[in-house]
Structure 1
């Protein structure tokens, strides 16, 4: 199986950091969150992959998890950030190096109160289907 971990993360990062609407709302989009990072921000979480081969092509189904972090009272700011993130990714054209027929769609999300007082967190999952270049 040919993994898409690195190129998929790079493609998602590129798509999010190219979104003026998202960047207007957050201090940054991070793979590795610097300490201390100013709120609000988005971080890229885990990616899982499972094979999804066709008869003559290698394919993958991946799930990428993104996190919205906010310290604004209530969830309004986190919801607005998630909406901008979703507008940038859901059913968007995504160029993943080494892969074709790439599709990404919103799968699910959950709004959470973090154990750290005052922190709001949205955990958003996206399903990605990819076919390895021949």
Structure 2
């Protein structure tokens, strides 16, 4: 099996950082958040993969988890950021090095309250189907 873990993360982060409507809403998109980072921001969570081969093609189905973090009172700000993420990723073409026929779909999201009562958080999952080039 060939993994898409790193090329997929690079593709997603690059796409998000290049989107001006999204970057107008957040202070950054991170794999590793700098200490004392201003809110709101988006982080890459886990990526899981499952082999999804076809007759004569190697394929993968991946789940990409992103996290939206905010100090806004209530969930409105994180919901607006979620809508911006969807505009960039959900059912939009994505170029992933070493792969073709890449499809992305929003699977689910969950609003969460952090132990810090000032922090709001949405965990969002995207399913990605990829065929090895």
Give the TM bin, normalised by the shorter chain. over 0.9
Tell me how far 1:55 sits from its aligned partner.
1.1
Structure 2 matches for 1:1-134, cutoff 5 A? 1-133=1-133
Deviations 1:75-129 (CA, angstroms, capped at 9, x unpaired): 1111111110111100111000000000001000001111112100000000000
Deviations 1:44-81 (CA, angstroms, capped at 9, x unpaired): 11000000001111000000000000001011111111
Aligned length in residues:
133
The runs of 4+ residues in structure 1 deviating greater than 4 Å are: none
Instruction: Give the TM-score normalised by the residue count of structure 2.
Output: 0.98
| Aligned alpha-carbon RMSD (Å) | 0.5
Instruction: Give the TM-score normalised by the residue count of structure 1.
Output: 0.98
SS in 1 for 2:43: strand
Point out where structure 2 has 5 or more consecutive residues left out of the alignment.
none
Point out where structure 1 has 5 or more consecutive residues left out of the alignment.
none
